Structure formats: C-alpha cells, structure tokens
C-alpha cells in the first residue's frame, strides 16, 4: 500500500508540473503568466481529483447477501440475554 501511495503521489506531481510548464502563452507579463500557470495547474488537479473519485466509486464492491447466507442467519440460535452477570439468589 505504501509503494502505491508513493508512486501515485509522484505521478500526480509529475503531471501537474508538466501542465504548469506547458501552460505558457507568450503574450503575458511575468506575473500574469505565473497566475495563468497556477490556475491551469489547479484546474488540472481538480480534474484529477474528480477522476480519482469516479474510479473509487466504480471500484467499490458491496458484498451481497446470498440466499444461502440469509438462510443460515435465520437458523442461528437466539441471542443470549443482555445480562452478562448471573442472577444472585437471596441468601438467608
């Protein structure tokens, strides 16, 4: 799990740096160019986050109760009483 986390972070950062450097219209001043690159990078990061959410939602598999599992649940013995201490008899 740790390796996948590290690889995902490195790949995501690499993509965002590439997007940052590729977004460079030549007609802007230095400040405006930096602001444009940051805006494009944040937009790309948002798109990557939305894509990750879609992938997670698509890959989550909820376990389904089968007919056999449902029948075995009903055949189990009733639950014990909620009192965990035995009843004490009065000692006279």
pLDDT in tens, 41-74: 999 999 999 999 999 898 887 777 666 665 665 5
Residue 65 lies in a domain: no
Residue 18 lies in a domain: yes
Cβ(20)–Cβ(41) below 8 Å: yes
Residue 17 lies in a domain: yes
Residue 7 lies in a domain: yes
Residue 82: pLDDT above 60? no
Per the structure, the count of domains in the chain is 1
What is the extent of the structural domain holding 49? 2-60
Residue 22 lies in a domain: yes
Which residues, other chains included, contact 48 with Cβ-Cβ below 8 Å and sequence gap of 6+?
12, 15, 16
How many angstroms separate the CA atoms of 7 and 59, rounded?
19
Residue 76 lies in a domain: no
Banded model confidence at residue 76, pLDDT cuts 50, 70, 90: low
Residue 90 lies in a domain: no
pLDDT for 78 equals 57
State pTM to two decimals: 0.59
Residue 69 lies in a domain: no
């Amino acid at each position: 799990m740790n390796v996948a986390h590290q690889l995902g972070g490195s790949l995501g950062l690499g993509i965002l740096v590439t997007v940052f450097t590729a977004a460079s219209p030549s007609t802007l001043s230095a400040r405006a160019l930096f602001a444009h690159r940051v805006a494009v990078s944040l937009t790309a990061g948002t798109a990557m986050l939305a894509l990750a959410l879609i992938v997670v939602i698509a890959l989550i598999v909820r376990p389904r109760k089968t007919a056999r599992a449902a029948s075995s649940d009903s055949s189990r013995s009733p639950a014990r009483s909620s009192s965990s201490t035995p009843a004490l008899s009065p000692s006279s």
